[in-house]
Structure 1
Amino acid sequence: MRNRYLLDCTLRDGGYINDWEFGHDNILNIFERVVASGVDVIEIGFLDDRRTFDMNRSIMPDTDSIGRIYGGLDKKGVMVVGMIDYGTCDISNIMPCGESFLDGIRVIFKKPKMHEAMEYCRQLKELGYKVFSQLVSVTVYSDDDLKEIAGIANDIMPYALSMVDTYGLLNPTELKHIMDVLDVNLDPDIILGFHAHNNFQLGYVNATTALDYDSDRDILVDGTLYGMGKSAGNAPLELVGMYMNEHYGKEYVITEMQEAISTSVMDFQKRSPWGYQLFYYIAASNRVHPDYVSYLMNKRTLSITAINEILGRIPDDKKLEKDMKLAESLYMDYQKH
């Protein structure tokens, strides 16, 4: 095995809980505590030119705004990255890396947009950034799709190619299979990353499975403080960090993570709890977008058994598409019978 790395994405993925309004003091505290913990990479928010600058939010319209919030902070040798959802931040809003607080940029994209998104990754690389290409809903990629994206990556040579289990559908066996395909077909100098979600309570297990994967390739896994994040939450940074200390000889300072949780995360958990819930479990067990479950539950006329039956009728190509007209049609058909 080669190197194993830990990335914190609390200020980005955690922002789905509070619309990225952590408050300026919490943003700085989380950054300084996580950096002091010695993680390898910290992701400090979204770049999204549809949003206006707000000192209290970790979603920013351009790289200049990142400097206005974080510019005076000490990175202490930790790599600092931001994230772009492909299509939401024009390249004109990204200054050259040498002029930016960022060291790298992660680009998330869905499979149908992989060709144009990877070209965007090439542009970011030409600006000097370490680029992470993030495969949203990696579970929808066939083996042939994985081979195709690996071939594109081998041409562009991003810093990392990351598997994103967007809806928490993977188990360790399925994850290993995806890693098998990518590991064989991806240039050995490209880091393989993994981002877990916790719909099946497997976020932590899947993260450690990725770390333990038998490969000479560098591997990176994501985590967030206390698992803070979208839907059922993420792999908890502090637990993954402990695992890496025990099994990979790392020296992450877990108490710094705990202090950040205590001072800047727990209040958000009390206001808007995240984590394993029946709602997200039902969505994951049917391998559908959570909005379908929400739509049917809000009808308040269906049992859980009925909801599962309707979800089971959604065609495979529509399961993650949020087609509410289809949901209504299936609901009405179910009610008739």
Structure 2
Amino acid sequence: MATQKVEIFDTTLRDGEQVPGCKLNTEQKLILARKLDELGVDVIEAGFAISSPGDFKSIEAISKIVNNATVCGLSRAVKNDIKVAAEALTYAKKPRIHTGIGTSDSHIKHKFKSNREEVLQRAYDAVKYAKSFVEDVEFYAEDAGRTDNDYLAKVCEAAIKAGATVLNIPDTTGYCLPQEYGAKIKYLKEHVKDIDKAIISCHCHNDLGLATANSIEAIRNGARQIECTINGIGERAGNAALEEVVMILKQHPYLNFETNINSQHLFALSQLVSKHMGISPQPNKAIVGANAFAHSSGIHQDGVIKRRDTYEIMDPKDVGVTESAIVLTARSGRAALAYKAKNAGYNLTKLQLDEVYANFLNFADQHKQVNDDDIHQIVETSNIYREIKSA
């Protein structure tokens, strides 16, 4: 089976910036936009133009400097929103307007005080108007995860008829289970007229910790674009993490999907986003967390020292991490201590290692972690140090 392309739609600069305290200025957005373009993302969602003069300015500036990716601007299904988005994208080499409306009964009844027929018409009209400005129009059915599939299919048909090139099926509240979300995508593939004229996109939130799983399940059922953010940042519990979905597709080649992402830039870009947004991923974060390639258990350390893939399914270099980390703690074994001691300049015999290891355990029990500099103290305060030194 031929490998199929999955487009990566990065919304770090839009949805990611909705994290409280993570507001970026235009200069910071330009720095990140350049790096995202170099990373190989297919689409950069640069902002929500109508929301503020600053966002308009940022979208306009990003449009001028991005060379490869499509630059996308968000709007509601409101004429002035769409017009302003188009103006902000004037200089983009490949502009896209991303417009849409809530389609769940909850949104229709309580948010819009409307009905299904009116919302269906608003969806059609919004796409039609956006199409008068740009060729590439993405329609989002907000809260699609909780939208009745039959009605959602009708909305998608209307959007395609109006000229939509991409259909975004968001799990806005992060409610869906993977099999439910996958089944929804499959239903649309099988029941929406002219579905082949548009790309189905998934935009999954992480309220129940399922954003990445839902995104992969969407791809397996016919979606061909994943909307995601660096480090999984975003509204509430965040979005699907770009680094996670990309590496899942890369590490499971039998799925027959590929992206344009240069994965060796992932760790550096994660660090850059953390720096500018002032929020670091948790240490146990997959792919880019501080502990993603760190080993502290003696059994794991021994296995990794003997052969890296004993406990690592990815080569850290593939995501831009220099090497695996052997972290010494009271749970570490002799193999890890010998490895660290050798790096510090001590080639210990088995008997010497036994002596130093006893000293190490006493030291480790008093500290959360044993640093490289501590190795010298541990070795040099052992009873056998004179023998080691003379050797």
TM-score by length of 1: 0.69
Aligned to 1:66: 59
Secondary structure of 2:19's match? helix
Kept after mapping to 2: 8 A contact 1:6/1:41? yes
Q: Which of 25, 39, 42 is matched with 1:40 structurally? A: 42
Indicate whether 1:211 and 2:219 are aligned.
yes
Query: For residues 147 and 202 of structure 1, do their structure 2 counterparts lie closer, same or farther at Cα, with a shift above 3 Å needed?
Result: same
Q: Which of 268, 274, 277 is matched with 2:277 structurally? A: 268
Q: CA deviation at 1:2?
A: 4.6
Q: Which of 218, 225, 228 is matched with 1:223 structurally? A: 228
CA distance in 2, matches of 1:140, 1:146: 10
CA distance in 1, matches of 2:58, 2:267: 28
Kept after mapping to 1: 8 A contact 2:14/2:45? yes
Higher relative contact order at CA 8 Å, sep ≥6: structure 1 or structure 2?
1
Kept after mapping to 1: 8 A contact 2:78/2:126? no
| Structure 2 residues without counterparts, runs of 5 or longer | 109-118, 286-391
Query: For residues 249 and 210 of structure 1, do their structure 2 counterparts lie closer, same or farther at Cα, with a shift above 3 Å needed?
Result: same
Kept after mapping to 1: 8 A contact 2:75/2:85? no
Q: CA deviation at 1:72?
A: 3.8
Q: CA deviation at 1:251?
A: 4.5
| Residues 291-327 of structure 1 deviation map (CA, whole Å, 9 limit, x = unaligned) | xxxxxxxxxxxxxxxxxxxxxxxxxxxxxxxxxxxxx
Q: Which of 237, 240, 243 is matched with 1:238 structurally? A: 243
Kept after mapping to 2: 8 A contact 1:82/1:106? yes
Aligned to 1:284: none
Structure 1 residue runs of 4+, over 4 Å off? 94-98
Q: CA deviation at 1:12?
A: 0.4
Aligned to 1:310: none
Higher radius of gyration, 1 or 2: 2
Kept after mapping to 1: 8 A contact 2:26/2:58? no
Q: CA deviation at 1:47?
A: 1.8
| Residues 220-245 of structure 1 deviation map (CA, whole Å, 9 limit, x = unaligned) | 11110000100110111111122233
CA distance in 1, matches of 2:235, 2:44: 18
Paired letter, 1:74: V
Indicate whether 1:109 and 2:101 are aligned.
yes
Secondary structure of 2:48's match? strand
Query: For residues 206 and 90 of structure 1, do their structure 2 counterparts lie closer, same or farther at Cα, with a shift above 3 Å needed?
Result: closer
The alignment of Structure 1 onto Structure 2 pairs a total of residues equal to 261
Query: For residues 256 and 90 of structure 1, do their structure 2 counterparts lie closer, same or farther at Cα, with a shift above 3 Å needed?
Result: same
Aligned to 2:5: 3
Paired letter, 2:202: F
Q: CA deviation at 1:270?
A: 3.4
**Greater mean deviation of Cα atoms: 1-10 or 177-186:** 1-10
Paired letter, 2:266: M
Kept after mapping to 2: 8 A contact 1:29/1:260? no
Query: For residues 235 and 107 of structure 1, do their structure 2 counterparts lie closer, same or farther at Cα, with a shift above 3 Å needed?
Result: same
**Greater mean deviation of Cα atoms: 136-145 or 195-204:** 136-145
Query: For residues 88 and 255 of structure 1, do their structure 2 counterparts lie closer, same or farther at Cα, with a shift above 3 Å needed?
Result: farther
Kept after mapping to 2: 8 A contact 1:47/1:89? no
Query: For residues 205 and 95 of structure 1, do their structure 2 counterparts lie closer, same or farther at Cα, with a shift above 3 Å needed?
Result: closer
Secondary structure of 1:158's match? coil
Kept after mapping to 1: 8 A contact 2:204/2:211? yes
Aligned to 1:327: none
Query: For residues 229 and 114 of structure 1, do their structure 2 counterparts lie closer, same or farther at Cα, with a shift above 3 Å needed?
Result: farther
| Residues 173-192 of structure 1 deviation map (CA, whole Å, 9 limit, x = unaligned) | 11122112211123212111
**Greater mean deviation of Cα atoms: 108-117 or 34-43:** 108-117
Query: For residues 100 and 38 of structure 1, do their structure 2 counterparts lie closer, same or farther at Cα, with a shift above 3 Å needed?
Result: same
% identity of equivalent residues: 21
Q: CA deviation at 1:144?
A: 2.1
Indicate whether 1:85 and 2:73 are aligned.
no
Secondary structure of 2:175's match? coil
Secondary structure of 2:279's match? helix
Secondary structure of 2:207's match? coil
| Residues 180-225 of structure 1 deviation map (CA, whole Å, 9 limit, x = unaligned) | 2211123212111100111111111111111222x4xx61111100
CA distance in 2, matches of 1:93, 1:240: 32
| Residues 107-154 of structure 1 deviation map (CA, whole Å, 9 limit, x = unaligned) | 131123342133111111121231111011113321221231132123
Q: Which of 124, 143, 153 is matched with 1:118 structurally? A: 124
Paired letter, 2:78: G
| Structure 1 residues without counterparts, runs of 5 or longer | 277-337
The 5 A counterparts of 1:156-195 are 156-186=162-192, 187=194, 188-195=196-203
Paired letter, 1:70: I
Query: For residues 95 and 226 of structure 1, do their structure 2 counterparts lie closer, same or farther at Cα, with a shift above 3 Å needed?
Result: closer
CA distance in 2, matches of 1:118, 1:87: 12
Query: For residues 89 and 10 of structure 1, do their structure 2 counterparts lie closer, same or farther at Cα, with a shift above 3 Å needed?
Result: farther
| Residues 17-69 of structure 1 deviation map (CA, whole Å, 9 limit, x = unaligned) | 14772123321121011110111111111121x52x22xxxx22xxx7632x2
Q: CA deviation at 1:92?
A: 4.0
Kept after mapping to 2: 8 A contact 1:26/1:264? no
Kept after mapping to 2: 8 A contact 1:11/1:45? yes
